[in-house]
Amino acid sequence: MTDVPTTVTRAVGVRRLALGLAQGLCLFLMFQAKAHKVWPATDLAAFQALLLPLLFAPLAAIHAQAHMPGRRLAVWLAVIAAVCAAAGFFDGYKNGGALDVERWEPGPLLFAAAAGLFIAQALVLAAQADGRRIAGYSAYFDAAWKHGVQAAAGIGFAGALWLLLNLGAGLFTLIKLTFLSELIHEAWFAIPVTTMALSIAIHLTDVRASLVRGIRTLALTLLAWLLPLLAAIVAGFVVSLPFTGLRPLWDTNFAAGLLLGVSAALIVLINAAYQDGLPDTRAHTALRWTMTVAAILPAPLIAIAAYALTLRVQQYGWTAERVYALACIAVGGCYALGYLAAAVRPTERLRGLERTNIVTSFVVIGILVLLFTPIADPARIAVTSQVARLQEGLISPDAFDYKYLRFQGGRYGLRALERMKAGEIEVAGVNDRAAAASALTERSDVVEAGVNPPVALDRDRLTANITVSGGALPETLLSQHELAPGQNGPPACLTASSETCEGFLLDLNADGTDELVLIPQTGGRPPAILSFDGKEWRSAGTLPARLSCEDMRALLRTGDFKMLPSQWNDLEIGGLRLGVADRGDAMSTACP
């Protein structure tokens, strides 16, 4: 990596600045269309199909200036624009019936587009610099880490610029001059200034390539010496698992995400220590041994994360988030297997990291294509899975999330709601709820479909799903054929075979008859109360979700609690009885 010649940098700098200005003006026009609700902002598919190319194609053009010949650069930019437009159009079309531009949440799509462009740009520019379709590993390493430093520098430069502009506006405001404060809040000024700042940062880091190389070397050196600490922590964790078991992991409800994050940190630090694998950048002997040990550790972490995701899917089916988690596990699995093979090879130890990194880069791009096309669209998979669980009786109509279909299932969710309304999905009680969900306009709205219908009870399911602490289920409940759920609906463990509860018989209202408190085994869900009126059991309400935590359940088992009368009377208004909710620590839903 050498500095770009001065005779070239002036023309390149002008082109980059012009591209940044043009990008800013185009994005401003898109902002205006959204603000004034005119086309393309009236059509989510068209809006995204234009927005994504305007965000990413100019950045690629700015970055690739002076590194690719004009014709090849034009072809590459056309590919980027076409892929971004197609991805944006499909995502907008998929969500267009469920959302509009105002409620559009582009997080996953923008992240995927940015990650895909970063990887693809590094692969293409490395191949261009190396003069081969598949470049050598040192070229890929050089391009990827240089682009990473440039991206960080560009964001930092733009942030510093806006910090200074706000400080300057504050100074003028002190003397009652508000022109600068008003100016920097104008979209026509703010958007082009930001894109031009990014252009300037990219150009300066490109011209002073030796400076970027120095920053990169320093950053990699510092990161590399964090590897022994992280490797020791992860190794200690893996060694401890046979003694602690996996149950503490499942109780966290975020084990898979944490394990994937630690695996990603290991992979980054291993590459920081390995660098390009050339003799002049070879790590210290102690660090090389640490790299060998660390290369083995992602394998068990990814395996446990995959097992955790499998259990979650078996219990609750697929959601979009779990599909994304599966994609991350697939990528992590490629790294883990490749690094494990590289660590155990007796000759050329760790050289396999290079092949693994190159192959996995192409795998990532392939997975992104699958996720953001109809092939493996997470919304389609999630809707299909959840509706199948409803039809198979694994989740009750009362517990089913109809709002998920309305606002997060895209056209697939809306189509499923239409099928429910039309009676094509033959599950009792879903028609009215599906109709109510289809009519919602805001996610905060409540699905109200009249009185909940009675829920069929099954003696075998009750005894299998509910374990009563210090007693047994009342015979009156076991012999009851239907449950009148009331306003709160029945607890899921009464109707879904995949849900289990721990039960406690407590006289909560001091009437001489015990109520049945059902606490879900999966933490974070509110316990349900069933009451017996002398004739039948019905759903009577819920208790704070904090009671679902293991420490609270332990106190209930030992009888370490007391009944207290309510401090406040209930309020009856409009036919509804409303109680005062305590907002203190006792009502917290978070487990310690």
Please give the residue that has the higher pLDDT: either 7 or 48.
48
pLDDT single digits (tens) 228-258: 999 999 999 999 999 988 888 877 778 889 9
Q: Average pLDDT for residues 468-480, to the nearest whole number?
A: 89
When pLDDT is cut at 50, 70 and 90, the band that residue 452 belongs to is low
91-105, 502-516, 569-583, range with the lowest pLDDT: 569-583
Which distant-in-sequence residues (6+ apart) come within 8 Å of 325 by Cβ? 256, 257, 260, 305, 309
Please determine, for residue 276, whether its predicted confidence score (pLDDT) is greater than 90: no
* Strand-pair category, 515-520 with 528-532: antiparallel
Please determine, for residue 422, whether its predicted confidence score (pLDDT) is greater than 50: yes
pLDDT single digits (tens) 167-196: 999 999 999 999 999 999 999 999 999 999
d(CA 397, CA 404): 14
d(CA 529, CA 341): 54
Residue 490: what pLDDT?
Answer: 64
Can you list the positions of beta strands (E) in 266-410? none
When pLDDT is cut at 50, 70 and 90, the band that residue 585 belongs to is very low
Please give the residue that has the higher pLDDT: either 16 or 578.
16
When pLDDT is cut at 50, 70 and 90, the band that residue 53 belongs to is very high
Question: Minimal CA–CA distance to 309: which of 321, 324, 326?
Answer: 326
When pLDDT is cut at 50, 70 and 90, the band that residue 464 belongs to is confident
Question: Minimal CA–CA distance to 103: which of 448, 445, 417?
Answer: 445
When pLDDT is cut at 50, 70 and 90, the band that residue 586 belongs to is very low
**505: β partners:** 516
Q: Average pLDDT for residues 555-571, to the nearest whole number?
A: 82
When pLDDT is cut at 50, 70 and 90, the band that residue 454 belongs to is low
- The percent of residues above 70 in pLDDT, for the chain, comes to 88
Max avg pLDDT among 244-253, 345-354, 470-479: 470-479
Question: Minimal CA–CA distance to 145: which of 217, 238, 56, 86?
Answer: 217
Q: Which helix (H) or strand (E) holds 226?
A: none
Please provide the average confidence, as pLDDT, over all residues in the chain. Answer: 86
- The percent of residues above 90 in pLDDT, for the chain, comes to 52
DSSP 484: B
Residue 332: what pLDDT?
Answer: 97
d(CA 119, CA 116): 5
Q: Average pLDDT for residues 48-70, to the nearest whole number?
A: 93
Residue 309: what pLDDT?
Answer: 93
Q: Average pLDDT for residues 214-218, to the nearest whole number?
A: 90
Helices (H), 107-226: 107-130, 137-174, 179-184, 187-207, 209-224
Which distant-in-sequence residues (6+ apart) come within 8 Å of 33 by Cβ? 39, 40, 41, 47
Domain map (residue ranges) of the chain: 6-217, 225-376, 378-438, 455-587
Please determine, for residue 101, whether its predicted confidence score (pLDDT) is greater than 80: no
Q: Which helix (H) or strand (E) holds 483?
A: strand 482-483
Angle, helices 285-296/255-274, rounded to nearest 10 degrees: 150
pLDDT single digits (tens) 125-160: 999 999 888 899 999 999 999 999 999 999 999 999
Residue labelled with tokens 């020791």: 232
Residue 7: what pLDDT?
Answer: 44
Say whether 573 sits in a helix, a strand or coil: strand
DSSP 549: S
pTM of the entire structure?
Answer: 0.77
When pLDDT is cut at 50, 70 and 90, the band that residue 522 belongs to is low
